[in-house]
Structure 1
Amino acid sequence: MTQHEPDDSDERRRSIGSRRNPQTQQAILEAAEALLIEGGVAGFSIEAVARRARAGKPTIYRWWPNKTALLLEVYHRQKVAPVHNDTGKIETDVALFLTHLMAHWGNTGAGQVFRFIVAEAQRDAVAAEALRRYGAERRAQTGKIFTRGIERGELRGDVDAELAAEILSGFAWQRLLTGRLQISAEEASQVARQMVRGLLAPGR
């Protein structure tokens, strides 16, 4: 190798920094996703991701403080199911949210990944903070289902949309953590009906 030919360590050193290099970031996320598909959570580690992505561990740890933070980003990238629908009717939107989320968790490796993330958050403060931030983002997103219901006049004006989203997510998480991801359209509609009707505006 001549003095003008860069080696792998040169490339790795150039990728280290607080600002993410888009190509390196993509390589890391793709490597992490591939490892999850091939070996599940058991075969996932920062070391394995670094080898697969040809990236330095310091780069990964600078952008993702631990394995849980990286798993959360990969998990979010995999959430392709259309869980946030706008049908014009709050009960239908809530039922579809549950149906699609449960299917996504049950039919892909996403449920296993999220169970691991929740478990890690019970023993590691950094993981818990990563999950807390992610949960806040999800409550804001899912809360839009209820905000639309308020704007349409279906729900009372004093309904806290993010609190309603947290109640809905709490049901979903409880099902995930107890291994009960099968939910029929009828059951999802029943859950939506029992939850939403306590939020309805008078006369609805």
Structure 2
Amino acid sequence: MSAASSPPPRAHSGNRRDEAARLAVLHAADDLLVEHGFGALTIESIARRAGVAKQTIYRWWPSKVEILLDVLIEDSEKRFPVPTEEQPTADSIRRYLRAFARFVTRDPAGRVLLALLAEAQHHSATAASLHERYLDPRRAAERDLLARATAAGEIAPDLAPDATMDALVGPIVYRAMTGSTIPRALVDTLVTNLLKPRPR
């Protein structure tokens, strides 16, 4: 067969394999955290559960904290993305907070958030990574959400945006950290009292 008529070279499947390994690591870290807690989670146990070499993990992540942050970032975007509609309303913010409450009480990745928040109280490096990669970008999006809703006259909070979000999510996080349920009425009351939605 001449070179001109030879078939094109086959595409490499390395990227697909890498993505499968990456997802296996994220799922393994998530599962092991739920099963054994943050303290017992190790790179060795993640590699064993994911079926990859430790060197593969260290090539992509410097620590288990960074693995868990990838889990948290990806699952948060799927489970409760910050609303991006042009004119948010009190109802869309309420739905966002309800989704957040479900996330921290029912979703395995919600356990990741709670574990990282707890670990951040004792380790400054964990706190710095958590803020830089997750808390600060999400807060910026939440701040913009409140600003757009306020500008549209949909809500009229008395507090500044950061204080408003702290007051909204604080009770939710506290109840999740203490293993309590989060009634829908709690979220509704927070929205009513703190955002003062425009009457319909």
What TM-score do you get using the length of structure 1 for normalisation?
0.69
2:47 is the counterpart of 1:50: yes
Aligned with residue 69 of structure 2, among 72, 75, 78: 72
Count of matched residue positions in the alignment of Structure 1 and Structure 2: 180
Q: Deviations over 1:9-57 (max 9, x none)?
A: xxxxxx9xxxxx7853651343231353366252632122334252444
After superposition, where does 1:193-204 map in structure 2 within 5 Å? 193-197=192-196
2:5 corresponds in structure 1 to: none
Letter in structure 1 aligned against 2:130 = L
- Which of 125-134 and 171-180 deviates more? 171-180
> RMSD over aligned Cα, in angstroms?
3.5
Is the alpha carbon distance of 1:24 and 1:53 closer, same or farther for their aligned partners in structure 2, counting shifts above 3 Å? Answer: farther
Question: Deviations along 1:59-94, whole A, 9 cap, x unmatched?
Answer: 534543321221121122223224534595632223
Q: Which runs of 5+ in 2 are unaligned?
A: 1-13
User: In structure 2, what is the equivalent of residue 191 of structure 1?
Assistant: 190
Report matched runs for 1:129-168 at 5 Å: 129-133=128-132, 134-155=134-155, 160-168=160-168
1:127/1:22 Cα in 2 relative to 1: closer, same or farther (>3 Å)? farther
Change in CA separation of 1:141 and 1:149 when aligned onto 2, cut-off 3 Å: same
Q: Which amino acid aligns with 1:111?
A: G
Q: 1:22 to 1:146 in 2, by over 3 A?
A: farther
Equivalent in the alignment of 1:106: 105
- Structure 1 vs Structure 2: percent identity of aligned residues? 24
Matches within 5 A, 1:109-120: 109-120=108-119
Which residue identity lines up with residue 47 of structure 2 in the other structure? A
